């Protein structure tokens, strides 16, 4: 078993609290991303799991055993970090073979594993080169190949694809997913790129200001954000937030009012995904003033306002809406997230 339990980890740098009691369990063979904006504490958490940083309090268990106090190399994990430290005095082949040599693997295994990892990362043609003859993206792929070559039980990665161009990133993403799934590797992956996290992960832990705000499958965090921060951080365009009055437990939205969760006060925030609407005639639909209509090919992107609040909405490209139009929108009640204006948290009814 190679599950990871992060138990109430705190980390302060002087008076600054970088992690404010983070708990998270990653199951054996699971791929979990730590996703969040710059400075939210993702790298700090990963470094604590790796043993490169000490926590102020809390525990980390790998395979049921506490690893606090163990050296990084005693923790039975492989890692790839942003600064992809490859050894400059070794060829690419020897770099990829490094972990296997440490394990005293025999010649045939070293060769087979290096070949497999190099093939996967498309670096076969550079095996005889030294790292100073490689681009940043190629060096990064060597670092990933070196980690994969040992077929680790636990793999920690911090933005390992950040130096690759968009197309290669997409390709690597798909290949990483396939290989890690096949190997059953337990993986923690740090990224600030929500598309990457959505595409790769079994579950995503969304972090903000040293706290995990939500842990869930990509579909759940997208459809049922626990907080306004999560809804705004995930999705492109981000979730729309429209503050509306609540009258007798209902919210007006065109001619069919919506029933608000009973916990709401006088006002509530409707969290609305851009694509969770349909065109409807006025006054049946909720009125939207369209400022700009952009035909994107695959869809029509509308930027404008509802109740004088900015929104972005996505319609099928077959619809004809022009800049300056006033349109009606029918909202899908099952796809609305109801959020408290005070706490920014969603009401339970929205996540049912």
Ligand X SMILES: Nc1ncnc2c1ncn2[C@@H]1O[C@H](COP(=O)(O)OP(=O)(O)OP(=O)(O)O)[C@@H](O)[C@H]1O
The piece of 42-50, 87-95, 118-126, 248-256 that touches ligand X (CB under 6 A) is 42-50
Distance separating alpha carbons of residues 71 and 92, to the nearest angstrom: 26
| Alpha-carbon torsion, ordered 244, 247, 248, 251, to 10 deg | -40
DSSP codes, 13-70: ETTEEEEEEEEEEE-TT-EEEEE-STTSSHHHHHHHHHTSS--SEEEEEETTEE-TT-
Write out the binding residues for ligand X, residues 167-196 only, by CB under 6 A. 192
Residues 6+ apart with CB under 8 A from 108: none
Out of 9, 22, 26, 43, name the contact with ligand X by CB under 6 A: 43
**Shortest reach from residue 224's CB to ligand X, in Å:** 24
Residues 2-41 as x/- pattern, contact with ligand X by CB under 6 A: -----------x--x-x-----------------x-xxxx
Nearer to ligand X, 81 or 241 (CB): 81
Tokens encoding 108: 């045939």
**Shortest reach from residue 36's CB to ligand X, in Å:** 6
Write out the binding residues for ligand X, residues 119-138 only, by CB under 6 A. none
Nearer to ligand X, 42 or 75 (CB): 42
289 sits in which H/E element? strand 286-295
Nearer to ligand X, 36 or 152 (CB): 36
Nearer to ligand X, 92 or 234 (CB): 234
Whether 71 contacts 51, CB under 8 Å: yes
Nearer to ligand X, 43 or 340 (CB): 43
| Alpha-carbon torsion, ordered 113, 119, 124, 126, to 10 deg | -90
Residue closest to ligand X when measured from CB atoms: 43
62 binds ligand X (CB under 6 A): no
In the complex, which residues of this chain contact ligand X (CB under 6 A)? 13, 16, 18, 36, 38-44, 192
């Amino acid at each position: 078993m190679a599950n990871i339990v992060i138990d109430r980890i705190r980390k302060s740098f002087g008076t600054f609290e970088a992690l404010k009691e983070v708990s998270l369990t990653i199951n054996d063979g699971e791929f979990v991303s730590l996703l969040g904006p710059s400075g939210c504490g993702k790298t700090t958490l990963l470094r604590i799991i790796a043993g490169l940083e000490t926590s102020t309090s809390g525990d980390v268990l790998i395979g049921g055993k506490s690893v606090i106090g163990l050296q990084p190399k005693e923790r039975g994990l492989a890692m790839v970090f942003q600064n992809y430290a490859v050894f400059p005095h070794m060829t690419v082949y020897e770099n990829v073979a490094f972990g296997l040599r440490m394990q005293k693997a025999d010649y045939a295994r070293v060769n087979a594993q290096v070949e497999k990892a190099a093939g996967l990362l498309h670096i076969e043609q550079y095996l005889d080169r030294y790292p100073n003859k490689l681009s940043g993206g190629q060096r990064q792929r060597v670092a990933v190949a070196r980690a994969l070559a040992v077929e680790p039980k636990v793999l920690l990665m911090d933005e390992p694809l950040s130096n690759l161009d968009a197309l290669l990133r997409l390709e690597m993403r798909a290949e990483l997913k396939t290989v890690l799934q096949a190997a059953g590797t337990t993986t923690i992956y740090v990224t600030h790129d929500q598309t990457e996290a959505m595409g790769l992960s079994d579950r995503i832990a969304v972090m903000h200001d040293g706290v995990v705000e939500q842990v869930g499958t990509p579909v759940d965090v997208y459809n049922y954000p626990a907080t306004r921060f999560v809804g705004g951080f995930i999705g492109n365009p981000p979730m729309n937030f429209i503050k509306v009055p609540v009258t007798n437990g209902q919210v007006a939205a065109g001619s069919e009012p919506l029933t608000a969760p009973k916990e709401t006060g006088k006002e509530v925030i409707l969290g609305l995904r851009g694509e969770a609407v349909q065109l409807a005639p006025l006054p049946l639909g909720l009125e939207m003033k369209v400022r700009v209509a952009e035909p994107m090919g695959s869809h029509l992107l509308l930027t404008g306002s509802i109740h004088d609040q900015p929104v972005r909405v996505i319609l099928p490209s077959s619809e004809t809406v022009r800049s300056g139009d006033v349109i009606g929108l029918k909202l899908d009640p099952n796809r609305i997230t109801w959020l408290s204006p005070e706490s920014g948290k969603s009401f339970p009814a929205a996540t049912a």
